[in-house]
Structure 1
């Protein structure tokens, strides 16, 4: 598209915007081919649509949307509520490219009660309402099986698929199955259970599936009392068993007070390109529906923009008729028949926190699944987390960490480990013998190593790290900063990992002066940072041990000129110790290493003996 075409396009759109009414309604954006690419709602059409064409619009994706718009239409309605309903219907109909849309996942199972003469109750993933009434769907399979199990124990509905009729029972056409003989069925097919009694059980099962378990419990208790008053103790005992079973089930399944009835709970958890909206439906204190839905963000929508349209789509999808909705904050949802509640404490606050926890867990699970398929995604995520936590100018692709190791200043060494894309790059690890520091001075040793490391990288024009981490607190950070910024004039972010009194890493420090960065010590990012710290510590300690070991293996034979490693090994293999070599005769030594070398050895030990005298 040329500049002239774009100018004409914008002039055409601004002409439409200037004539828009200041009334509630829905607006539609079209692309060059005449396809609807975005549907929106507004309390004031003119103000809302004109906001897209302001120069100060800073959202990149919104700018992309505006660049695709070639035409605008709108529909005026009486109220904001009507605008919301119209928007929802148009989004469903046209599936616009830039609107957030409910992402359908797998089909969750439901529980069906058939419309047969003797209804059956079973789980299914196929919904066909002409065959029966469906309850659910159930995202948590355990909940569904718990409901089926309590219904089976209480009412023993038939499981056979035989089409039982009243006439067939009278004619004795049916034979009882194994379920009847093991007392898992009342035997309705052979007249052992009346049709009225069977339907009464099914109706109570319906109430349980609706979440009205407390009401069923109350009915059973009243029936038990009535039977006991009429001295029908055996029947009362059977009802008592059902009552106790249901009471136990209620105590396990009830999340909050049973006074909370027919309430929807919504929360939204933000992801990078996806919003996760969790939905709970609560009846009589029981959660009988729980789902987390994914909404693909198209224009970097904020949570407050996503939640209203998500509520509309989810309630319609699940046929919710609740008149109260619990949400985390005030939103614009102008539906008159609904009550919006933003709880601050109490049972509804507990439900909202439970919804938020489920949404976060679902996001975490989805992230883990994606990272298994694409391991690079995890590295990028962790780099972004560090960048956000420390407010770095760019993602820390290359991280370097330093550590010193010595014993009372002897055999002083240092190590540098390099992590690239959050993984160790062992070919870039470096070991350093401390050259200019005498005694146990960790700060001076750190200065020497950092100076040597980055002076060399500059001379060789090698890439510098995006982040330096010191194995220590404020003191180590300061000496590194003095070298990096004051001496070498480099701009490299410096962080530190500090330990507590028990020598456990418990703080991430950053900035000048260093400040503690708020981060949970059990988070994945903090564990990664401590892994980097452990890795540099391991590398430095290993190098230090190797150096000490070489000194420990040094013997007097190493000081004899003309005696190399092979000769030394041959002598030790024959004589075992330096003491025995010293005490051996010329003939014994000659037999092992030859006359010439034997003379060197004897001469050396004789001179050593004279010096001691």
Structure 2
């Protein structure tokens, strides 16, 4: 703890009300965010008790200031705590990274022949949405089942309108070809209604309706239609039979946590209307003193901040603050939410299955880490490095004939790719097509910032390029007095075949070729390929953005509002091109000088 904080005076003046406290270091960075029913009592425990874990001791040594926020209740404190954990990402908290939006199955009920489609985004479209699913694969699998059973189209509306004969989906019996009128509108709507019932979990109701239809067709000797109903019934029963959770009603989530040393894994199974919508896997960052109860408490509070809350949550163990969590979830859902920790029978089997999944995931992750370590050791041996490296940063430049150059930086450590450290750079200062200057700019910007912020430098700076790029990198690091980072180059051979790469070491003075089966080579290739993918993706986005750029954006003095008024007045860009200078000048906010500039842009100099 820093001397600048008079802890006795601070605790004496701290309130006894509930709230959130933030531990800060000398740089003003948030080290830890916590909640308390009694702020004074909770904060004092950090400084009055002995026997803290090494993590807490390490944090206390760095505390320079403590900030507090008073809340109305402990429940409000829990909500605020999780908002601030997500905002500040304190290194001494349990962190759960997850910012993705979740996929849905969308049915456009306004169309005469609705399609089943994958959808991700805001739920404002007209029609029905089913989900959220935990993964894209879960959506695809469900749509595939519905295509097999009910032959619902999945093609886009443009594709649908322009068909003159059935497509391959009809040939493989995955679509009834409504695009060319091979199924009547009423029959297709019936199939859509059946699909919706399936997504609502009404499987038994669908089977009973199909049995009734099959019997009716049999009575009037329509045996082909009766056989089709029979096949649908068989497919549905097989699908229902394959689901372990087919008899469950309503919505529920099964959450299981598993901890092994300082590794943790949480598995979440989402059950909606008796259908398993897939599972999610999380690896929260935990500390050595974290137990299952604490982990589940933190996880649940963060997990449901931006997600659908089911009617019931089944947990693999008891949590801290169970009553508060239940109250928060119920208030957010605006209906009662049940949290179950002791279940029996079939439900207990689901929990055991989820725990086994979590345990298996940790083992696989550990084996993956072991393989990465072996590759790092192989790299040390093959390149004759002094120590086994911990972090590698790789740089690449992407452009099209020198246009719109983009630089990329990817980071790789013993845990795999560290996407928090991925960076892309718009090249600002170099001449067109000058790869050496572009590399110099990217490396300078990256390492000047790292030094300025006093952050850890990588052990290896890997350059996707030849001796010229490697020498440019060495000059940058020498100018910044960085001598602990090894600069290594990886360049493709003459035929640019994988395995023929040249490895440039010893400050660009030595070029070696590694065995095609070398683990070190595979590691360098993997990192190089990711840097290339990251750079080229950013470059293509930039290039596509430029290709759809309006010529009006290049006119000085014509801002977004005036541009909008101009396009609205003339009905689009073609109207603007046809307009005379006098016509343009009539628009409010556009003076003679600006009108002249707009006219010249499309017609050249005026007479």
TM-score normalised to structure 2 length? 0.53
Listed as ranges, the matches of 1:512-551 within 5 Å are: none
Secondary structure in structure 1 of the residue aligned to 2:281: strand
Asked if 1 retains the 8 angstrom alpha-carbon contact of 2:134 and 2:270, the reply is no
**Take 2:250 and 2:131, find their aligned partners in 1: how far apart are those partners?**
17
Counterpart of 1:30 in structure 2 is: 24
Equivalent residue runs for 1:95-110 within 5 Å: 95-104=89-98, 110=103
Deviation at 1:229, TM superposition (A): 5.2
Distance (Å, rounded) in 1 between the aligned partners of 2:104 and 2:148: 16
Does 1:303 pair with 2:298?
no
Q: Which deviates the most, 361-370 or 303-312?
A: 303-312
Matches within 5 A, 1:78-97: 78-97=72-91
1:113 aligns with 2:109: no
CA distance in 2: counterparts of 1:161 and 1:195, whole angstroms: 18
Structure 1 residue 228 and structure 2 residue 221: aligned? no
Equivalent-residue separation in structure 2 for 1:236 and 1:104 (angstroms):
48
Q: Following the alignment from structure 1 to structure 2, what is the Cα–Cα distance between the partners of residues 376 and 87?
A: 40
**Is 1:7 equivalent to 2:8 in the alignment?**
no
- Residue 34 of structure 1: CA displacement? 2.2
Q: Which moved more, 1:222-231 or 1:274-283?
A: 222-231
CA distance in 1, matches of 2:351, 2:78: 24
Distance 1:20 1:207 in 2: 57
Equivalent residue, structure 2, for 1:251: 241
How far has the Cα of 1:69 moved from its partner?
1.9
Contact 1:280 / 1:290 at 8 angstroms: preserved in 2? Answer: yes
Residue 348 of structure 1 pairs with residue 347 of structure 2: yes
Q: CA deviation at 1:284?
A: 4.9
Give unpaired runs (5+ residues) of structure 1. Answer: 379-613
2:315 aligns with 327
Post-superposition Cα deviations, 1:97-117, rounded to whole Å, max 9, x if no partner, equal 222111359x89956436483
Q: Are the aligned partners of 1:176 and 1:187 in contact in 2 as well (CA < 8 Å)? A: yes
Q: CA separation in 2, counterparts of 1:108 and 1:25?
A: 30
Give the CA deviation at 1:164: 6.4
Q: Tell me the residue number matched to 1:365.
A: 364
Q: Hey, what's the Cα distance between the residues in 2 that align with 1:82 and 1:196?
A: 52
Decide which of 77, 89, 103 is 2:71's aligned counterpart: 77
Checking the alignment, whether the CA contact within 8 Å between 1:217 and 1:246 is kept in structure 2 is: no
Check if 1:277 corresponds to 2:271. Answer: no
Partner of 2:304: 315
Equivalent residue runs for 1:51-70 within 5 Å: 51-70=45-64
* 1:209–1:69 CA distance, 2 compared to 1 (3 A): farther
CA separation of 1:160 and 1:19: change in aligned 2, threshold 3 A:
same
CA distance, structure 1, for counterparts of residue 97 and residue 263 of structure 2: 10
Pairwise CA RMSD: 3.4
Q: Residues 209 and 92 of structure 1: is their aligned pair in 2 closer, same or farther, counting only changes over 3 Å? A: farther
What do residues 117-142 of structure 1 show as CA deviations (whole Å, max 9, x unaligned)?
A: 34443568x6576778474545594x
Q: How does 1:142-181 map to 2 (within 5 A)?
A: 146-163=141-158, 174-181=164-171
Provide the C-alpha distance between the structure 1 equivalents of 2:247 and 2:372, rounded to a whole number of angstroms. Answer: 43
The 8 Å contact of residues 262 and 323 in structure 1, kept in 2 or not, is answered as yes
Q: 1:238 aligns with which of 228, 242, 253?
A: 228
2:55/2:288 contact within 8 Å kept: yes
> Is the contact made by 1:137 and 1:289 (CA closer than 8 Å) also made in structure 2?
yes
> Residues 14 and 40 of structure 2 are in contact (CA less than 8 Å); yes or no, is this contact kept in structure 1?
yes
Question: How far apart, CA to CA, are the structure 1 residues paired with 2:186 and 2:301?
Answer: 40
Q: Provide the residue aligned with 1:219 in structure 2.
A: 206
Alpha carbons 1:42, 1:83 under 8 Å: kept: yes
Q: 1:108 to 1:34 in 2, by over 3 A?
A: closer
In structure 2, the CA distance between the partners of 1:377 and 1:178, relative to structure 1 (3 Å rule), is closer
Equivalenced residue count is: 359
| Equivalent pair of 2:103/2:131 in contact (CA under 8 Å) | yes
Q: For structure 2, which runs of at least 5 residues remain unmatched after alignment? A: 331-336, 378-607
Counterpart pick for 2:179 among 157, 167, 189: 189
Take 1:114 and 1:285, find their aligned partners in 2: how far apart are those partners?
20
Alpha-carbon shift at residue 93 of structure 1 (Å): 2.0
Equivalent residue of 1:163, what SS? helix
Distance in 2 of aligned mates of 1:256 and 1:177:
36
Secondary structure at the aligned position of 1:56 is classed as coil
Do the aligned partners of residues 201 and 22 (structure 1) sit closer, same or farther apart at CA in structure 2, a change above 3 Å counting? farther
Normalization by structure 1: what TM-score? Answer: 0.52
Residue 295 of structure 1: SS of its match in structure 2? coil
The 1:41–1:205 alpha-carbon spacing in structure 2 relative to 1, beyond 3 Å, is: farther
Mapped partners of 2:168, 2:22: distance in 1: 62
Q: What SS does the aligned partner of 2:278 have?
A: strand
Return the index of the structure with the highest Cα Rg.
1
Post-superposition Cα deviations, 1:327-347, rounded to whole Å, max 9, x if no partner, equal: 133212313222121225312
> Offset at 1:296?
0.7
* Structure 1 SS opposite 2:283: strand
Task: Measure, in 2, the Cα distance between the counterparts of 1:262 and 1:304.
Answer: 23
Give the match for residue 16 of structure 1: 10
Which residue does the alignment assign to 2:509? Answer: none
| SS of alignment partner, residue 7 of structure 1 | coil
Q: In the TM superposition, what whole-angstrom CA distance separates every residue of 1:201-229 from its partner, at most 9, and x where no partner exists?
A: 3454345446x1xx133134135326635
Partner secondary structure for residue 3 of structure 2: helix
The separation in 1 between residues aligned to 2:16 and 2:273, in whole angstroms, is 44
What is the distance in 2 between the residues matched to 1:290 and 1:78?
A: 36
1:322 offset after TM fit, Å? 0.8
Contact 1:281 1:287 in 2 (8 A): yes
